Amino acid sequence: MKTKKEKMEIHPENIPVITPEMMEKTAIEIAKRRTGKKESPVKGAKDIKCPSCGNSTMSYANDLTFDVTLTGERIVIPNLTGLKCSKCSEEAFDANSTKIIEKYTIDKSVGGYELKVSTVGGGKIGMYFPKDVLRVMKISKSDKAILTPLSNRKMIIELLNSTA
C-alpha cells in the first residue's frame, strides 16, 4: 500500500507534453470551425457605453469565455464574441454567442442556496446550511468535509463521511 507522500508524488513521465504538431492540429481545427461561423453583428464596434461602469470603453472582442456552474456542473465555453469593457471587464455576448450559450445551458436549473456565515468563537467562523440541503444530502454534524478554494469568491465542499 502506498503512503500518502508516494500518492502525491508527481512523476515527469506522467505529465502530458504538448508537441508543436498537436498545436498545429488544434490551430487547423479552430480555423475550420471559424470558417463556418457567422460574423458577429458587433464586429468593429468600439467606444460603446458600458452599462456597469458608465464609461464609453466597450469594444468588440472575439476571445470571450462563458464560465458558469449549474446544478453542480461547470460549463466553460471559450472563443465567444461580443463586447468587453476595457475599464471594468464587463462582458456582453452577441446574438451568435448567446445561441451557443443557450444550447449548453437551456436544460440546466440555476440552483444554489444562500448560506449564512457567522462567528462561532475562538476567531473561527461557521456556515449554516439550509435544512433542505442537509436533508437531501443526508449531512449530519459528525460528517467531515474537504473545502477546496477555487478563487477568492468560489469554493468546493466535498463530503467525506456522508451517510448518503
pLDDT at 41: 85
Q: Going residue by residue through the chain, which has 164 residues, state the pLDDT in tens, using 9 for 90 and above.
A: 566 555 566 777 777 788 889 889 888 887 777 776 677 888 899 999 999 899 999 999 999 999 887 766 788 999 999 999 999 999 999 999 999 999 888 877 666 777 888 888 888 888 888 887 787 778 888 889 899 998 888 888 888 865 54
The predicted pLDDT at position 7 comes to 57
Cα–Cα distance list, 98 to 19, 30, 68, 118 (Å): 33, 19, 14, 38
Q: Domain residue spans in the chain?
A: 39-105, 116-159
160 near 146, Cβ under 8 Å? yes
Which residues contact residue 56 at a Cβ distance below 8 angstroms, ignoring those fewer than 6 apart? 47, 48, 49, 50
β pairing state of 91-93 and 58-70: unpaired
Q: How far apart are CA 105 and CA 27, in angstroms?
A: 27
Residue 61: all three cell numbers together: 472582442
Q: Give the pLDDT score at 86.
A: 95
CB 91 within 8 A of CB 64: yes
| Neighbouring C-beta atoms of residue 43, cutoff 10 Å | 10
For 20-53, give the DSSP string.
Answer: HHHHHHHHHHHHHHHHTSPPPTTTT--SBPPTTT
CATH 3.10.20.860 fits 39-105, yes or no: yes
Length of the chain: 164
d(C-alpha 17, C-alpha 27), whole Å: 17
Q: Are strands 124-128 and 116-121 parallel, antiparallel or unpaired?
A: antiparallel
pLDDT for the residue numbered 155: 86
pTM of the shown model: 0.49
Cα–Cα distances (Å) from 82 to 33, 72, 76, 78, 98, in that order, read 18, 27, 16, 12, 9
